[in-house]
């Protein structure tokens, strides 16, 4: 990974909370609240909502999607790398016009998604289109070469088909 852009906050490290998971979880949730509940961002003038349900431990589903991994909703587990980057989704969304971020749309099942890929930092933010607003859906590191290649192909295909996006 390259040096961080100056608009990207530092990682929130578990070690800074003396290895205390509950304190760390409270801290990263407070960052999430600050960025997505107390002061909601927008993307290209479109309002961002939140997937609130199911609430787990009093925390919104979007928060859990930002910090956990796994294919089955009921069995997702925290990913420390996602947790450390809890402060990154909002600045990536707000700086989408920077050349270091690749932005494109795709379809997943019946959902239209907007992908924001901070390629040098191997970080992807996914927004889901809804009627009249967008949902921050998930955000995670993309470190596997085959996944990077797939994202690059998707981006190039979209860019070639939609030069004005």
User: What are the pLDDT digits (tens) for 71-129?
Assistant: 776 778 999 999 999 999 999 999 999 999 999 999 888 889 999 999 999 999 999 99
Mean residue pLDDT of the chain comes to 92
Rounded Cα gap, residues 85 and 141, in angstroms: 9
Rounded Cα gap, residues 139 and 129, in angstroms: 15
Rounded Cα gap, residues 103 and 156, in angstroms: 10
Rounded Cα gap, residues 65 and 52, in angstroms: 11
Would you call 34 helix, strand, or coil by DSSP? helix
139 phi, psi to nearest 5 deg: -155, 135
Rounded Cα gap, residues 121 and 4, in angstroms: 7
Residue bearing tokens 């191997």: 122
In the prediction, which pLDDT does 2 show?
62
Would you call 43 helix, strand, or coil by DSSP? strand
User: 53-67, 81-95, 114-128, 132-146: which range is least confident on average?
Assistant: 53-67
Residue 45: pLDDT above 80? Answer: yes
- The answer for 70, left when phi > 0, alpha when psi is -120 to 50, beta otherwise, is left
Q: Which helix (H) or strand (E) holds 73?
A: none
Q: How confident is the model at residue 55 (pLDDT cuts 50, 70, 90)?
A: confident
**What is the value of pTM for the model shown?**
0.92
Delimit the domains of the chain by residue range: 14-161
């Amino acid at each position: 990974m390259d040096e961080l852009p100056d608009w990207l906050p530092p990682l929130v490290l578990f070690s800074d909370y003396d290895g205390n998971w509950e304190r760390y979880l409270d801290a990263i949730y407070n960052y999430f609240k600050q960025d997505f509940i107390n002061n909601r961002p927008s993307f290209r003038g479109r309002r961002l909502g939140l997937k609130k349900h199911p609430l787990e431990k009093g925390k919104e589903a979007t928060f859990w999607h930002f910090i956990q991994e796994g294919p089955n909703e009921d069995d997702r587990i925290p990913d420390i790398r996602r947790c450390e980057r809890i402060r990154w989704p909002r600045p990536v969304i707000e700086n989408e016009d920077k050349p270091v971020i690749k932005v494109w749309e795709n379809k997943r099942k019946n959902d239209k998604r907007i992908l924001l890929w901070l390629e040098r930092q191997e970080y992807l933010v996914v927004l889901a289109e809804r009627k009249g607003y967008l949902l921050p859906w998930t955000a995670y590191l993309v470190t596997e070469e085959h996944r990077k290649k797939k994202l690059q192909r998707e981006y190039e295909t979209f860019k070639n088909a939609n030069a004005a996006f």
